[in-house]
Amino acid sequence: MKLLTDTVVPARTGKAFVVQRGQRIRVLEVEGGQIGDFVAFNAGNLRERFSQGRTKANQGKIRISTGDRLYSKSNSVLLTIVEDTYGIHDLQYGMCSRWIFESPDYHGFASTLPVGGPLGRPAWGCWENLTEALKAWQIPPEDIPDPLNLFQTVEIDPGTGRMGIVPGRSKPGDYVDLRAEMDCLTALSACPCTGRPLRVQVYEE
Ligand SMILES: [Zn+2]
């Protein structure tokens, strides 16, 4: 594979990446334990975007890994996961946002997740990061889909349906490779909750 771009996404920021059909986008852990909120759009029609719901229903599972696909609401395949050294990526939660940090009793963080990581409690979330990253494409904040939460580990009680985010066990160098099945606009937020950077590489196969 030929490396085309290699970009650090600093802690608590987001960036957008255009990935042409057949290219791979690799999301890499730098320090480990960091969550990445990932969204994707059809670059030829930005109204068509990733669907958490179709991605789960079309494959009959609530977690995806190598060989699984990221679908849009109209059931087109945007990307396929072709390598994954971590194996668990959440498709239940939406993305964090400023609202969560202004709601001290928000139950999603009443788990053992140490919100803030090494940087302390954040003032904004992934929604704000992705809004900023996608500004150049004039995507309104309300049109940013619920994400694929890379390296996010969620435990679900099958009896009650209750769920909670637990600290991830990802190590430095863990990565997920997604192959674009059409020209895609993608964006990644280094989730402010976990407060560490991520790295993104784009490859030509
Ligand atoms: Zn987040």
- For 117-139, the pLDDT digits (tens) are 778 888 899 999 999 999 999 99
Cα 193 to ligand 1 centroid, rounded to whole Å:
6
Cα 1 to ligand 1 centroid, rounded to whole Å:
31
Q: Is the pLDDT of residue 113 over 70?
A: no
Cα 98 to ligand 1 centroid, rounded to whole Å:
10
**13 burial level (CB within 10 Å; 0-12, 13-18, 19+):** middle
Cα 36 to ligand 1 centroid, rounded to whole Å:
7
* pLDDT at residue number 108: 62
8 A C-beta contact, residue 35 and residue 49: no
Q: Which of 35, 36, 124, 49 is CA-nearest to residue 79?
A: 49
Residue 137's CB is within 10 A of a number of other CB atoms, namely 13
pTM above 0.85, yes or no: yes
Cα 37 to ligand 1 centroid, rounded to whole Å:
6
Cα 97 to ligand 1 centroid, rounded to whole Å:
7
Rounded to an integer, what distance in angstroms lies between the CA atom of residue 73 and that of residue 110? 31
* pLDDT at residue number 122: 87
Cα 115 to ligand 1 centroid, rounded to whole Å:
10
Rounded to an integer, what distance in angstroms lies between the CA atom of residue 121 and that of residue 123? 7
